[in-house]
């Protein structure tokens, strides 16, 4: 992030020194666990000090995230100077366990710190004993520390520069999660588990992240024939639309999804040179435009289908209540005046009628359901 003031420069320098000190204590605590037997006073004192320092960070930072980059350690977005012994030793531990990221979350206990540092300090033995570092954590009841062989989804560089270099819209996921996300976008798999779909919510809410994924797919397919690459882009756009349509269960989400689709289209044409180059083909450009419009229609239809499902549930509930309270109302029998006196019931039936009228205008609804809706409308008009 560009430094603009002396105050910002001073704060950045202060943060760097604070995180450097934290990693030095991390390293020295590990060293003591190698040098001294379990329960040694020096080791216990260092563990307590390290825990206290971690808890101090927890007052302002919910997560301490340490990332091993190319010759650099990054802790909570602060790049630390490389080349000193502490950074190199911690970096080597990351390599021993084949991880890129380590996260210590708020609420970590002294016992967890002690167990984890013992495992991490003896990386040679631990990496042979456990299939991976997270496996070691799980088997030793360490729940507030997580390791990742991570993949990052970032906004395009020029967009990031416009945002002042901030990591806005950047998320970190595991390599396996990234592979599944890319497979979904290519149409190779479906995300059937709602929990898995929700895991990727942040990605599908950020058009710039989606642009970076589309770019990644286009780069990976660079050796493919042009027509195949263009077809892949259409598949990716349709998969994005499919995901958003599944999330569009009400009018507010529908509006948000349509805004995301429009923003994605605009971001691709502005921030993706590869996409722009492919868009020189007028036929491809027209196909993309048509795909975007089809996706918007899909989102709108899915919202209506979701409403339809909710109203079906309401109708079933209403039917059960009427059957219990006054069975004759189910056949729309009325009093001698020919009207239903209950204002609450009347308002409910009016809402049902209005919705059924929407159903008859929608092409995605099964024709048999449309005919049934028309029959119900006729009955409702007679008695409300």
pLDDT in tens, 12-26: 788 889 999 999 999
For the chain, give the mean pLDDT: 82
What is the pLDDT, as a whole number, of residue 185?
95
pLDDT of residue 162: 39
Of 352 and 37, more confident:
37
- Percent of the chain's residues with pLDDT above 70: 83
- HEC sequence for the chain: CCCCCHHHHHHHHHHHHHHHHHHHHHHHHHHHHHHCCCCCHHHHHHHHHHHHHHHHHHCCCCEEEEEECCCCEEECCEEECCCCHHHHHHHHHHHHCCCCEEEEECCCCHHHHHHHHHHHHCHHHHHHHCCCHHHHHHHCCCCCEEEECEEEECCCHHHHHHCCCCCCCCEEEEHHHHHHHHHHHCCCCCCCCHHHHHHCHHHHCCHHHHHHHHHHHHHHCCCCCHHHHHHHHHHHHHHHHHHHHHHCCCHHHHHHHHHHHHHHHHHHHHHCHHHHHHCCCHHHHHHHHHHHHHHHHHHHHHHHHHHHHHHHHHHHHHHHHHHHHCHHHHHCCCCCCCCCCCHHHHHHHHHHHHHHHHHHCCCCCCHHHHHHHHHHHHHHHHHC
């Amino acid at each position: 992030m560009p430094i603009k003031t002396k105050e910002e420069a001073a704060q950045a320098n202060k943060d760097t020194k604070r995180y450097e000190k934290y990693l030095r204590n991390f390293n020295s605590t590990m060293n003591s666990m190698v040098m001294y037997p379990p329960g040694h006073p020096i080791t216990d004192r260092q563990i307590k000090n390290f825990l206290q320092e971690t808890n101090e960070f927890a007052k302002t930072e919910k997560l301490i995230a340490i990332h091993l980059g190319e010759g650099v350690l990054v802790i909570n977005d602060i790049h630390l100077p490389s080349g000193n012994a502490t950074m190199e030793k911690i970096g080597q531990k990351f390599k021993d366990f084949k991880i890129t990221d380590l996260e210590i979350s708020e609420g970590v206990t002294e016992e967890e710190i002690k167990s984890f540092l013992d495992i991490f300090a003896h990386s040679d033995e631990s990496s042979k004993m456990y299939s991976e570092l997270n496996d070691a954590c799980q088997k030793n009841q360490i729940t507030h520390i997580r390791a990742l062989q991570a993949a990052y989804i970032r906004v395009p560089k020029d967009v990031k520069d416009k945002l002042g270099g901030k990591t806005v819209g950047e998320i970190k996921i595991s390599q396996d999660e990234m592979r599944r996300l890319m497979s979904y976008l290519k149409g190779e798999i479906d995300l059937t588990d709602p929990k898995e779909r929700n895991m990727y919510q942040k990605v599908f809410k950020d058009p710039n992240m989606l642009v970076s994924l589309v770019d990644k797919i286009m780069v990976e397919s660079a050796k493919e024939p042009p027509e195949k690459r263009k077809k892949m882009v259409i598949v990716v756009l349709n998969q994005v639309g499919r995901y958003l349509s599944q999330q569009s269960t009400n009018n507010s989400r529908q509006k948000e999804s349509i805004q995301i689709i429009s923003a994605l289209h605009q971001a691709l044409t502005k921030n993706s040179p590869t996409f722009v180059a492919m868009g020189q083909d007028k036929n491809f450009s027209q196909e993309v435009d048509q795909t975007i419009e089809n996706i918007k229609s899909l989102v709108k239809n899915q919202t209506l289908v979701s409403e339809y499902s909710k109203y079906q549930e309401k109708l079933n509930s209403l039917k059960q209540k009427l059957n219990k309270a006054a069975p004759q109302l189910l056949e729309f029998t009325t009093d001698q005046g020919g009207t239903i006196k209950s204002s609450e019931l009347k308002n409910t039936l009016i809402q049902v009628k209005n919705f059924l009228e929407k159903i008859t205008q929608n092409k995605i609804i099964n024709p048999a359901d449309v005919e049934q809706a028309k029959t119900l409308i006729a009955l409702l008009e007679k008695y409300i």
